[in-house]
Amino acid sequence: MPALDLHADPVELTAALVDIPSESRDESLIADAVEAALRTQTTGFEIVRQGNRVLARTDRGLGSRVILAGHLDTVPVAGNLPHRRTVDDAEGDVLHGCGTVDMKSGDAVFLHLAATLENPAHDLTLIFYDCEEIAAEFNGLGTIERELPQWLAGDVAILGEPTAGQIEAGCQGTLRVRLSATGTRAHSARAWMGDNAIHKLGDVLTTLADYRPRWVDIDGCEYREGLSAVGIGGGVAGNVVPDAAFVDVNFRFAPDRSIETALEHVRAVFAGPLSTGAVTMELTDSASGALPGLSHPAAAALVAAASGRFRAKYGWTDVSRFSALGIPAVNLGPGDPSLAHRVDERVPVAQIREVTDLLRAYLS
C-alpha cells in the first residue's frame, strides 16, 4: 500500500495521490492509503471506513462544524500517469497527471490541513468518497447520505472541486426531456401517403433557436440559464418517410428553481408544439441545484477569508446534496475546471499552496 505523508508539502502530497490509480469503482487502494494516513498522522479524529469511503471528524465542542468533502475517483487514465512536473515561462511551475485538477489537489489540501492545523476555530468533518465521476446512483456521498446521514451535519460544507482557487457558490440544476413525434412510414417517392415525424419537430427547433435564457442574481452570484438541444434522432432509410423522431433537450437552471418549477417552465416554453398533440414530452433525468447561501455567517466568513472572491458555479456538483439538507455549500479547490478530464490535465503548483493558505486562515 502506498504511504502518504500528510505533513509534507501539499504539492508533494498531491503528486503522491495522483500516482495511485483510482478510476471509478477501483478506489480501494487510495482509500486504504488515506485511511492509514489519517489513523497514524492525525489526532482527535473519529475515523470510519465504509466501503471505499473514509470519514473523519473531531468533537472538540467548538460550536461550529465545517465539512471538507472530496471524491477519490478519477476518470479513466489516458496515458497521463505517473505525474510529471514542469517549469517554464508560459505556465510556471505545474503538476501534470490524471486527477491533478479533478480533484486530488483538493483532497491533498484537506488531508494536509487535517494533520497540520494547530488552532482550529471549528470542529471538522472530512469525507473522502468514491464513484463521483459515474452515474449518480453509485455516488459515494449519496451512499453516506442514505446510510450515515449524521456525518453530513454541519454549518458549512466545502467541496474540493476545481475552481482555480476562487469560491464557486451553489450550482445549477439540470434536467433533460425528450420531445418525441410519431407519424406514418411511406416511400419518399409517395411522400403524401405518409406522415413525416421529423417535420413535426420543426416547431421545437424553432422554439429553441428563439429562446432567451434568464440571468438571475442570488447572493451576488449571477447564474445564467440555458435550454439546449443535446441530441436528435429519427429516420429509417434514404428513401423512407420516417414514422418516429425525437429531440433531447437539456435545461440548466438557476438554483432558485426546483426541479418541479423548472419542468413547468420547460412545458410552458414548448406549449405550442405540445398543444397540437403531435409532440409529446417526457422527463428523462434531473438533479436539483444548490443555493449559494453566502449570507450564512459561516459561509460569509469563508468569503472574507477569500478576500471577497466568489462567483456562481456553472454545472452541477455535490454541493446540491448539502444545500438540500439546509447546509450552505461552496466549491473551492485548485485547478482550472476546464482542464478536468483532459489528457493534458494539470494544476499550477502555486494554486495548491494558495488554497491551503486560504483554508488554513479560515479554519484557524
Rounded CA separation 267/326 (Å): 28
181/143 Cα distance (integer angstroms): 38
Residue type for 68, please? L
> Is residue 132 annotated as part of the catalytic site, yes or no?
yes
Provide the residue count of the chain.
364
Phi first, then psi: give them for residue 299, nearest 5 degrees: -75, -40
Cα–Cα distance measured from residue 295 to residue 329, given in angstroms and rounded to the nearest whole number? 11
From the list 33, 39, 35, the residue with the least C-alpha distance to 2 is 33
Tell me which of 102, 132, 219, 225 is the catalytic residue.
132
**d(C-alpha 151, C-alpha 22), whole Å:** 24
Q: Look up 73 and say whether it is catalytic.
A: yes
Determine which one of 27, 35, 73, 155 is catalytic: 73
d(CA 61, CA 226): 44
User: Minimal CA–CA distance to 67: which of 291, 318, 314, 288?
Assistant: 318
| Measured distance CA(294)–CA(328) in Å, rounded | 7
φ, ψ (nearest 5 deg) of residue 161:
-65, 150
Residues tagged active-site: 73, 132
